[in-house]
Chain A
Amino acid sequence: MVQYIKKLFRKLDDAPIPEKDPIVHSSLGMPLAISAFLLILSLIWAVYMETAGLRPWRAYQEEFGQLYQNALKKIRPQRAAEAGAIRNSEGYLTLQEELQQAETDVQSQLSTVEGEEQNIRERLAVLTKPFADARSELQATIYRWETVKSESVGERLSHEVEALRAKSFSFQFLDGDSVTYTYEELENTFNGLKNRQGELQAEKVSLLRRPTEMRSEMNAYMNDRLTGLTETQIDGLINKTETMGVFIRQIHNEEMNLVDRCESCHMGAREPVDLSADQMDGRSLFASHPRRDLLAIHDPETFGCTPCHNGNGIGTVSPVRAHGKYKHWLRPLYDKGNFEAGCIQCHRLDRHLEGAHTFNAAKDAFQHRGCMGCHAYEGFDTEPAQMREVHKNLQDLNADRITTQIAVERLLEKGDGAETNEEAHLAYTEATRVTQSIATIDADLARLNVRLDELLMERKRPGPNLKEVRNKLTKEWIPKWISNPQAFRPNTKMPQFRLKKAEIEAISAFLWQSGVNEPVASQPMGDAVSGKGLFDSKGCLACHSVGEEEDRLGGDFAANLSRVGEKTNYDYLVRWIHNPKERSLPYDPVLKHDVTREDYETRGLPFQFDPENNQSPLGNHSLQVQNSTVMPNLRLTWEESRDIGTYLAALKKETAPLPAAPFLEDTKLFERGRFLTRHYGCAGCHEIAGLEDEGKIGTDLTVEGSKPLERLDFALLTHEAKHDGWYNHKGFFERKLKKPAIYDQGKIKRDLEKLRMPDFHLDDKDVDQLTTFLLGSVESIVPPQFHNTPSGQRQDVQTGWDLVKKYNCMGCHQFTPGQSKTVMAELPFYGGSLAEKLPPSLVGQGARTNPEWLKRFLKNPALNSASPHRNGVRPYLDVRMPTFALSDNEVGTLARFFQALSKQPTPYIPPELAPLTNRERSMARELFTSNAAPCLRCHATGDEHTDPEKIAPNLSLVKARLKPDWTQRWLVHPEIIRPGTAMPSGLFRREGDRWVFSLANFRSFKGYTKDEAELVVRYMFEYTPEEQRRLTRGR
């Protein structure tokens, strides 16, 4: 070896010079042979790559054809069995007999018609071509005649035409006839035959009408009962697999600039048969698209695959490239757990989609975790932005008003100083007109001010009002909570901030010292046993929970109260339970500070503030008089509130006293604490004195999924990420959500530069849902006309869902038939209860109740301001529908929501019902008091002694509350509207075209020919409390 290298590098003139000139005498045979061989190899390689290597879909498609055929053959027998069973069923056989009968009926006429048709066809076969030729010659000659300029040529041509017309043709037909026609005769014969042919066609159609109908009936019968394909269809598919070509299958939608070739490999995606991976020999590549219902809504020919799934639609070279999982494709395929991320870009305006579980869960997770406290996101927490807009409009309008007034004054001056009467008149009329426009501005101002008041009510914050800490909390508990909330309450919404001890002390001191100084009224103790009973039964556990880990009972919408006794002041707790919205001092949003008792008293005003008395003593504007909490008012008496408060105050886990916290009173820490509180963005979730208008400290996440990967700061983990394959959006989000400070690892940063996002201690499910949410929050590649922009009732449904999710209505109520059980229904206290003892299901609520009544109800569920401590509709319930203090706007939204869900026409105009005749009235009374229909045995009557045992609402409410058409449907078939209801079914039966009471034959009903169910409905819509007393007097 060394020798060889030495030979290579020795000097040219040292080498022994060969005899013959190497240039002329060396044979290049060997190198040429080798390189030629290599060339051939590379050619073969290139051809292979072109035909198969870069086109794996060819192999896939052939494989698919084979596997599909096998699967179809396996399926065929059961399909044949099912189709055969249907064909042998009575109904089908009957139809078949009818078909045969129909066919035989028309057989003879049909054969006559067909015979004549055949004859005509034969004749036409002979006549057509000669006639057509002659006709075109004639027409061409006529054309020349018409367009010719010279007379002589015209003469000649006219003779030609005549000759052509007179020309004779002879024909020999198949049936032996032979005829001779002139052209004219030929034309007439031809047209006549054609017309006759048309007539015969029409006749045939009308003859076959009945058989055709029968055939389609048979098909319909079959299709209604088939659960899949028939065996003939399967055979058709098997034939298809034999002739299935191998070619690129693509979906091309020009409007969307969409080219998706996914189906070139995923051949089974849209096949009419449901194919599972197992059926296709374990190849999940060929399995059918699950959720065919989604494909029915989003036609793949329009939407393709990539708008929902991402990936590289045009790629066909390899799975990696087609799925876009390489460096340069910015939208790689969504992973299995994040499939529904693709829904979000088009369904931005939807809050709840039926059947989109991950989509709903993702949006719910974002809202439930309070992410919008720091991060802006379109559609969540919109009230502050709306308030700013309203403020701006108010300012503009006020400015307008002033300028208009000035304009009026100027015009009046101009009129006063005018030279002529006409000028003055003009000026004065103009002034009048402009003055009237001030009225419009005033109306707008009033409307906007109302809206502002509403927004003050509607705005809710994820965290509690921290201005009340002095009244509410045990002060030593504050630093313990801030340092580690999860240690105290494992599933709390409040995240853990990475704070040093000094920072915690400063923040606690600031919060304590900034709390309002208005003491809360002291409350005597109550009965804890009775309190527990109330707590369990009134419905608190639909939102709150008690018990830890396996013993946890209740909902997770609101806080777990297992240790609430360790932190809360009893007096405050009682006031809170009595009315959560009540606050110690109102807040003036214009002057931006809390209004104190002195401010009222020095102006001689009573120290009173509530939604009716919300004018500020310091100016002509509204105050925020309620806490921004979603917790509703359960309309409890003070005694009940004290009982519950006593029960809750005893819920403790650690009874040892908390370490003393003297720093809370240290005024030197106030400034530092305020700075830190502002820095960490606490005011995004909490109401804090002096920081009410703080913005959100986090980034806007509305299009976070579209952020260029280079702008996501992986910091010192960049190389590890690239190396381990998680250098993409999903990897970034997942790790950040699990441990937000992960990207600060190893960085040397000053304290204030460090990441402020706290640790939420999310479990894997939450991380998955939120990652899906963020991955889907992209700037859509789909053109806006394909986005889902619900309008009209569908929009009402979505705005309604916003509210339903905000206030956790689903904790107690069922809204859609597919919803899983409510939290209330799962509680052991209510286990096994009648559905009537639980909050009612709201499926079909819009069809059932009058929306105007519903609005009144939602505003005040007690339906009675005099005695609010009850349920308005169902006084017999232990559980209590609370008062949510909804603004008029929210109430209207909910009413429209229910109307839209039930597809009711808006506005609702109650139909006029014919008044009862006396006879009808006595009939109804007999029915009501009979033993066959003892309505008042279950329906509440307003009698306090018997009502608690009742299970149905008071019928006096019907007139205002229900809709007549629904009431009638309820009376005749309650089991369809509410399966499992205690309302008896079968009360009425159908006789001809009217409903008749079926459980008894009342004497007064004899001879009544009108609808009896309608009679009862009309009676109920005239029902009054006096009528009710009349009916119960006998009892």
Chain B
Amino acid sequence: MDWVQLWEIVSLPDNLPIVFMIILIPFFMWYGFRQAFANDRLIGRLEADPALAKTHHRKVEPFREGWDPKVHVWPYLLRIELLAAIIVTVILMVWSIVLDAPLEEPANPNLTMNPAKAPWYFLGLQEMLVYFDPWIAGVVMPTLILMGLMAIPYADKNPLGNGYYTFRQRKFAISAFCFGFLVLWILMILIGTFIRGPGWMWFWPGETWDHHKLVFETNRNLVEIFGITAQPLAGIVGGAAVGLYFAIAGAVCHKLITWNAFTIRIYSQMTLTQYLIYQFFMTTMLALPVKILLRLLFRIKYVMVTPWFNI
């Protein structure tokens, strides 16, 4: 267990925000879910006792009679914000005094650093580059992420959960988002920061980053397993595999929103456009873990190979 190596990575000024993130994200997740579960218990009690619903309608736990359901921004919110501002200022002051901005050696175009890592907000995409064709991982996916995020409000047919934390009433949305954000984004950032070392090779925490490490990882395309190498047959077979995936994934996604009576009631209100948008983005999002598993377990590089793009 190379503690020095571990410390080197963790204490690198560039990585400090990521370390903070490791602490802050679980904290806020817990904070939010605690409130959500309390509210869910309240919802349960309200549903069980319709009489209570008349007076306790849309309250949030904890709540007591006589308490104002709403409070003024000034002073109550702002004084908390003042405290937060002071604390953030203190943290920033201490941080800037203790850690210098990294002014490294003069740029040498003949000597690239190893590993050459993207900034943290792109580490997820850089990780995707391991599994996907650069066109897909660098252009198509980021575009779809942005488009998808923009499309969510228009495709979201669930009217519940506005203004209060709840998990029960938005199970699907919250789970889908947590998967997409925590697993496919944050986890990738953590991997990119702490796990990926020289040569973008996998180094477990505490393993020394050795530039001379050699691994055996030869990958092959899906169609090569079946012995097909010539275009356009390879493209067609690959396309068929991709189509097969989308068919299966589409069915799975459909099942997700027809899981129980509650979800059916909500999502049966979707228009066709909304449904198609949902299907498209959800299946594409699920493609990521599927491709990652294919690569890690079966050493498959590309499923579909064409002269113009590979998937």
| Chain A binder among B30-38, B266-274, B302-310 | B30-38
Q: A39's contact among B71, B90, B111, by CB below 8 Å, is which?
A: B90
Q: Which of A27-78 contact B (CB under 8 A)?
A: 28, 31-32, 35-36, 38-39, 42-43, 45-46, 49
- Interface stretch (choices A16-24, A244-252, A336-344, A544-552): A16-24
- Please name all residues of chain B whose beta carbon is closer than 8 Å to the beta carbon of A330 when the two chains form the complex: 105-106
Q: Which residues of A contact B86 (CB under 8 A)?
A: 32, 35-36, 38-39
B108 at the interface (CB under 8 A from A): yes
Interface of B is mostly: helix
Q: Is A15 an interface residue (CB 8 A)?
A: yes
Besides A11-B37, A24-B71, A28-B79, 17 other A-B contacts (C-beta < 8 A)? A11-B34, A11-B41, A12-B38, A12-B62, A13-B61, A17-B63, A21-B64, A31-B83, A32-B82, A35-B87, A39-B93, A46-B93, A46-B96, A328-B105, A710-B111, A719-B208, A723-B4
Contact A43 B93 (CB under 8 A): yes
In the complex, which residues of chain A have a beta carbon less than 8 angstroms from the beta carbon of B63?
17
Q: With A32-B83, A328-B105 as known contacts, state yes or no: A24 contacts B38, CB within 8 Å.
A: no
A11 and B82: CB pair below 8 A? no
The answer to whether B68 touches A21, judged by C-beta atoms less than 8 angstroms apart, is yes
CB-nearest residue of chain A relative to B80?
A: A28
- Measured in the bound complex, the distance between the Cα atoms of B40 and A11 in whole Å is 12
Contact pick for B111, options A24, A328, A708, A719, CB 8 Å: A708
Q: Enumerate chain B residues within 8 angstroms of A718, measured Cβ to Cβ.
A: 211
Residue of A nearest to B67 (CB): A21
The answer to whether A11 and B64 touch across the interface, beta carbons within 8 angstroms, is: no
Partner of B97, one of A23, A42, A710: A42
A329 within 8 A of B: yes
- Name the distance in Å between A10's Cβ and chain B's nearest Cβ: 10
- Inter-chain contacts of A710 with B (CB < 8 A): 111
Q: How far is the CB of B44 from chain A (nearest CB, A)?
A: 11
Do A39 and B62 form a contact, CB below 8 Å, given A23-B76, A329-B105? no
Question: Which of A35, A46, A710 has its CB near the most chain B CB atoms (within 10 A)?
Answer: A35
Complex CA gap A24/B80 in Å reads 11
Contacts of B230 in A (CB 8 A): none
Tell me if B103 is interfacial: C-beta within 8 Å of chain A.
yes
One of B37, B62, B105, B111 near A15 (C-beta < 8 A): B62
Complex Cα–Cα for A12 and B86 (A): 28
Q: What count of chain A residues pass the 8 Å CB interface test?
A: 31
Residues in B with CB closer than 8 Å to A18 are 64
* Chain B nearest Cβ from A716, distance in angstroms: 8
9 tightest A-B CB contacts, nearest first = A12-B38, A42-B93, A35-B86, A21-B67, A328-B104, A328-B105, A17-B62, A13-B61, A38-B90
Contacts of B41 in A (CB 8 A): 11, 13
A46 partner residues in chain B, CB cutoff 8 A: 93, 96-97
A93 vs chain B, min Cβ distance (A): 64
How far is B91's CA from A35's CA once the two chains are assembled, in angstroms?
10
Q: Does B9 contact A (CB under 8 A)?
A: no
B77-114 residues at the A interface, CB under 8 angstroms: 79-80, 82-83, 86-87, 89-90, 93-94, 96-97, 103-106, 108, 111
CA distance A206 to B195 in the complex (A): 88
B42 contacts A by Cβ under 8 Å? yes
Nearest-neighbour CB distance to chain A for B114, whole angstroms, equals 8
- Contact (Cβ within 8 A) A35 B64: no
**In the bound complex, how far is the Cα of B87 from the Cα of A17, in angstroms?**
28
Cα of A11 to Cα of B111 in the assembled complex, Å: 56
* Residues in A whose Cβ lies below 8 Å from that of B103: 328
Residues on B with beta carbons closer than 8 Å to the beta carbon of A43: 93
> B61 is contacted by which of A12, A31, A329 (Cβ under 8 Å)?
A12
Asked whether B108 lies within 8 Å of A708 as measured between CB atoms, the reply is yes
Encode B190-232 as 1/0 by CB contact (under 8 A) with A. 0000000000000000001001100000000000000000000
Minimum CB distance partner of A43 in chain B: B93
Nearest CB of chain B from residue A32's CB, rounded to whole Å: 6
Residues of A within 8 Å of B97, CB to CB, are 42, 45-46, 49
A12 with B35: CB separation less than 8 A: yes
Alpha-carbon separation in the docked complex, A45 to B82 (Å):
22
CA–CA, A42 and B94, complex, Å: 6
Partner of A13, one of B42, B87, B104: B42
Q: Can you list 20 A-B contacts (CB < 8 A)?
A: A11-B34, A12-B34, A12-B37, A12-B61, A13-B61, A17-B63, A21-B64, A21-B67, A21-B71, A23-B76, A24-B71, A28-B80, A32-B83, A35-B86, A35-B90, A39-B89, A42-B93, A46-B96, A328-B104, A723-B4
Closest CB in chain A relative to B125 CB, distance in Å: 27
* In the complex, residue of chain B having the shortest beta-carbon distance to the beta carbon of A53: B97
User: CB distance B105 to A11 under 8 Å?
Assistant: no
Residues of chain B within 8 A of A13, CB atoms compared: 38, 41-42, 61-62
The interface residues of chain B lying within 8 Å CB-to-CB of A31 are: 83
Q: Are B90 and A23 in contact (CB under 8 A)?
A: no
Residue of A at shortest CB range from B111? A708
- The docked-state distance in angstroms from the alpha carbon of A46 to that of B86 is 15
Closest CB-CB distance, A899 to chain B, in whole Å?
Answer: 46
How long is the Cα–Cα vector from A11 to B67 in the complex, in angstroms? 20
B38 touching A11 by the CB < 8 A rule?
A: yes
- Complex CA gap A442/B34 in Å reads 101
Q: Once the chains are docked, how many angstroms separate the CA of A49 from the CA of B104? A: 22
Q: Once the chains are docked, how many angstroms separate the CA of A715 from the CA of B103?
A: 27
Residues of B within 8 A of A11 (CB): 34, 37-38, 41
The CB with the most chain B CB atoms within 10 A, among A12, A31, A715, is that of A12
Give bound CA distance, A638 to B67, whole Å.
Answer: 126
Q: Chain A nearest CB: distance from B251 CB in Å?
A: 38
Whether A17 contacts B38 by the Cβ 8 Å rule is: no
- Bound-state CA distance A710–B93 (Å) is 35
Residue of A17, A32, A42, A45 contacting most chain B CB atoms (<10 Å): A42
CB B87 to nearest CB in A, in angstroms, measures 5
Residues of B within 8 A of A17 (CB): 62-64
Residues of B within 8 A of A329 (CB): 105
Give the docked Cα–Cα distance between A43 and B96 (Å): 12
Known: A35-B90, A38-B90. A23 touches B83 (CB 8 A): no
- State the CA gap A938–B80 with chains docked (Å): 110
User: How many angstroms from the CA of A23 to the CA of B83 in the assembled complex?
Assistant: 14
In the bound assembly, the distance between CA atoms of A24 and B74 in angstroms comes to 11
| Chain B: minimal CB distance from A483 (Å) | 33
Complex CA gap A329/B68 in Å reads 62
B89 nearest in chain A by CB position: A39
Select one of B61, B71, B89, B111 contacting A23, CB under 8 A.
B71
Contact A35 B104 (CB under 8 A): no
Which residues of A963-1019 have CB atoms within 8 Å of chain B's CB atoms?
Answer: none
| Chain A residues closer than 8 Å to B106, beta-carbon distance | 330
Q: How far is the CB of A863 from chain B (nearest CB, A)?
A: 59
**Complex-state Cα separation, A718 to B87, whole angstroms:** 42
> What 1/0 flags go to B149-191 for Cβ under 8 Å of A?
0000000000000000000000000000000000000000000
Interface string of B51-70 (1 = CB under 8 A from A): 00000000001111001100
